[in-house]
Chain A
Amino acid sequence: MAYINYAQREIQLKVVYYGCGFCGKTTNLQAIHHTLDPQQKSDLVSLATSGDRTLFFDFMSLKTPTLNNFTVRFQLYTVPGQQIYMSTRQLVLRGADGIVFVVDSGWDRMPENVESFQDLQENLLANNLSLAQIPCVIQYNKRDLPESANIEYLEYAFNNRAIRAPSFEAVAPRGEGVIETLNAIARLLMVKYSKTSQAGMAPARAQ
């Protein structure tokens, strides 16, 4: 849950990057860390295996400029994508205010993406949450792959709900679509927690 420290004029919001193994969650955080103003960000911390796979989580903290006398601090986490770390993902999801679901666009990764999406929904439920309640943005990563699935198919598979999530195409190692995704989830959270108007929100894709 968002933590609002009124006396110190600070709001803290937790965003979790979720998705299957090798979909690019850590790469998203690395690209954000590489791109953003040093004044706005903490170090990027990775709890990884010796093979550079995420073992527990990656973490970084970002501060917005002051808005109405308040500073908003976004706490970005990734979860380990590998199937065996189910319970770890549940732990990292605790207290999440927003989700970025990262989809690997490779055709051959669709079973893993679908499994991860189901896993997300189950783990949200275990934290008494659902995708209908929690702000969510979908990122279709690895759009530079020659064998990537088309966007219409991906939208049908992962964004086929009554209220559709904003979605973005990305090539995370090049930083493409990464900051756009981050700003979309940041705005969704501001809308939810500070009654900010919807103006400037990236619209959900048309069918």
Chain B
Amino acid sequence: MDPFANVPSSVGAAEVRALQGALQGFLEATSAHWVALCDRAGNLLFHEGKDPGSDVAILCALAAGSFAASRELARRLGTNEFAEQVHEGEGLRILLHSLDTETLLVVVFQHSTSIGLVRYYAAKLANEVTGMVEEIARAGAIAFGQLPPIELDPARPLLS
């Protein structure tokens, strides 16, 4: 019997589509390469755009680490956390933007893209998606809680 029989499969799907649409709109407006939302613990939430050329889970872990380090730096200097960071490489720039106390926006873009434009649309995107991220997480947690237990084979390790 399908363990999902009594649970709607579409929980959060409309919100996810709306959020992905907002991320795609951001990429079109800015010509940025790649955009992701991750939480402050480094978990990847959503991403859109061209393959950034590296494992996205690693990129998010590093982005969250970088942001956490700068926040601690700010705290020790007696100021508020830096709401935004831009790292400039030879070919690429990375913008880290704090959406709220839990979520970060990570944008990878080329030098040919105006940083002001990326900043402007990042702030706009932040207003647009903050509620969506919370709603998707909340709906997902509730729906997941209604699922039957995951059955694990005691004789078989999860990871091997």
List the interface of chain A (C-beta within 8 A of B).
1, 3-8, 11-12, 14, 36-37, 40, 42-43, 45, 47, 56-57, 59, 61-62, 64, 67-70, 72-75, 77, 87-88, 91-92, 94-96, 179, 182-183, 186-187, 190, 194-197, 199-200
**Inter-chain contact A182/B11, CB cutoff 8 Å:** no
Q: A85 to chain B: closest CB distance in Å?
A: 11
Chain B residues whose CB sits within 8 angstroms of the CB of A91 once the complex forms: 65, 68-69, 72
Q: Which residues of B from 19 to 60 have beta carbons under 8 Å from A?
A: 39-45, 55, 57-58
**Inter-chain contact A95/B65, CB cutoff 8 Å:** no
Q: B136 to chain A: closest CB distance in Å?
A: 7
Chain A residues whose CB sits within 8 angstroms of the CB of B41 once the complex forms: 1, 3, 14, 75, 94-96
**Inter-chain contact B150/A6, CB cutoff 8 Å:** no
Q: 0/1 per residue, B138-151, Cβ < 8 Å to A?
A: 01110110011111
Whether B158 sits at the interface, judged by CB under 8 Å, is: yes
**Inter-chain contact A7/B55, CB cutoff 8 Å:** no
**Inter-chain contact B13/A190, CB cutoff 8 Å:** no
Q: A18 to chain B: closest CB distance in Å?
A: 15
Take A95-B39, A95-B41 as given contacts and tell me if A4 and B150 are in contact as well, using a CB distance cutoff of 8 Å.
no
Number of A-B contacts (CB under 8 A): 138
**What are 6 A-B pairs at a CB distance below 8 A?**
A57-B65, A91-B68, A96-B41, A195-B149, A196-B149, A200-B153
**Inter-chain contact B57/A7, CB cutoff 8 Å:** no
Whether B137 sits at the interface, judged by CB under 8 Å, is: yes
A94 to B69, CA, bound (A): 12
Q: A51 to chain B: closest CB distance in Å?
A: 20
Interface hub of B15, B69, B159 (most chain A Cβ within 10 A): B159
Chain A residues whose CB sits within 8 angstroms of the CB of B137 once the complex forms: 3-4
Q: A111 to chain B: closest CB distance in Å?
A: 27
A75 to B40, CA, bound (A): 13
User: Which residue in A42, A56, A74 is a CB contact (below 8 Å) of B69?
Assistant: A56
**Inter-chain contact B55/A68, CB cutoff 8 Å:** no
A5 to B69, CA, bound (A): 27
Chain B residues whose CB sits within 8 angstroms of the CB of A73 once the complex forms: 57
**Inter-chain contact B147/A194, CB cutoff 8 Å:** yes
A64 to B72, CA, bound (A): 34
A62 to B58, CA, bound (A): 11
Chain A residues whose CB sits within 8 angstroms of the CB of B151 once the complex forms: 68, 196-197
Take A7-B11, A75-B57 as given contacts and tell me if A95 and B140 are in contact as well, using a CB distance cutoff of 8 Å.
no
Chain A residues whose CB sits within 8 angstroms of the CB of B62 once the complex forms: 45, 47, 59
Q: Which residues of B from 114 to 150 have beta carbons under 8 Å from A?
A: 136-137, 139-141, 143-144, 147-150
A195 to B148, CA, bound (A): 8
A110 to B158, CA, bound (A): 32
User: Which residue in A69, A87, A94, A179 is a CB contact (below 8 Å) of B157?
Assistant: A179
**Inter-chain contact A61/B157, CB cutoff 8 Å:** no
**Inter-chain contact A196/B139, CB cutoff 8 Å:** no
**Inter-chain contact B65/A64, CB cutoff 8 Å:** no
**Inter-chain contact B140/A7, CB cutoff 8 Å:** yes
Q: A172 to chain B: closest CB distance in Å?
A: 16
Chain A residues whose CB sits within 8 angstroms of the CB of B45 once the complex forms: 3, 5
**Inter-chain contact B147/A183, CB cutoff 8 Å:** no
A67 to B154, CA, bound (A): 14
